[in-house]
Amino acid sequence: MQETADQQAAPLPPTGAGGSALLEMLHNSGPVALAVLVLLTFASVFSWAIILAKWSSFRRAQTQSQRFVRAFRKSQRLSEIATVAEQFKPSPLVIVFTEINEEYQRQTGGRGLPRNPVALERAAQTASSEALTRMESRLTWLATIAAIAPFVGLFGTVMGIIDAFHGLGTQGAATLRAVAPGISEALITTAAGLVVAIPAVIGYNQFTARLREFGSRMDDFARELLSAIENAAMSQPAAPQVEERRVRQY
């Protein structure tokens, strides 16, 4: 009977202790730790916004590039592609096609072999560089956040340890109550820095690999387009020079 009474008198563990403990740790954090957490929160929101925006834009670019290549290979004339190129605008291949086509039109008016093939190759390189520069925009922020976030968290860790030693010196005894607030600050800021940095590193590496793929595709498409222009120009029948002279005489 006495054991039953002792068991009834024993306090039960509080429900939701994990969440309340985390909230209590945040509530007891000092101003430096809170400033570090707020800074890391803004960095996390900004990096995730870039990741989602780039993922969406790269997906549209890949889809439109595949459709543009299929339309290009089915067409027989550059003018046909030029009229529908705007429909595939998110694709970087459209920029390459537009630059090469404009340079070809300036040189020949759309007929015959280009007078300066090197200029077409330079136009293709310039267009590829411009397209990649657009797609690379704001990716440096991901690299910056990935590199800085752990050090920001480490700064909060150092300050938390300093607070822990300060608590030991104030109370004059090595008790858990004296060091708990400082240790909790150190652990929270360290974890927050890693949570912010890891997605930024993964996103930056993945997008960098995708940019290399887009660069290779643009180079391949530029070579294919230049070959198509050369083959189409060579297959065009040449106008007889005798008839041209007669027309000039008349």
Q: What secondary structure does DSSP assign to 168-182, as a single string?
A: HHHHSS--HHHHHHH
Residue 223 has pLDDT above 60, yes or no: yes
pLDDT at 174: 57
C-beta separation of 245 from 119 below 8 A: no
C-beta separation of 50 from 141 below 8 A: yes
Residue 249 has pLDDT above 70, yes or no: no
pLDDT at 6: 43
In percent, the amount of the chain with pLDDT more than 70 equals 74
What stretch of H or E contains 246?
helix 241-249
pLDDT at 202: 96
Greater pLDDT, 229 or 211: 211
Residue 147 has pLDDT above 60, yes or no: yes
Q: Please give the C-alpha separations between residue 112 and each of 108, 117, 193, 223, 228, in angstroms, as whole numbers.
A: 6, 12, 61, 18, 12
- For residue 112, the SS3 value is coil
Looking at 52-61, 152-161, 214-223, which range is the least confident one?
A: 152-161
Query: In the structure encoding, which two tokens stand for residue 211, read together?
Result: 């940019």
Residue 179 has pLDDT above 80, yes or no: no
Residue 2 has pLDDT above 60, yes or no: no
The mean pLDDT of the chain is 80
pLDDT band at 14 (very low <50, low <70, confident <90, very high): very low
pLDDT at 24: 62
- For residue 27, the SS3 value is helix
Residue 181 has pLDDT above 70, yes or no: no
Q: Please give the C-alpha separations between residue 249 and each of 19, 51, 212, 238, 240, in angstroms, as whole numbers.
A: 96, 68, 58, 20, 15
CA dihedral over 226, 229, 234, 240, signed as positive or negative? negative
pLDDT band at 91 (very low <50, low <70, confident <90, very high): very high
Residue 54 has pLDDT above 90, yes or no: yes
**182-198 per-position pLDDT tens digit:** 677 778 888 899 999 99
pLDDT at 44: 95
pTM of the model: 0.77
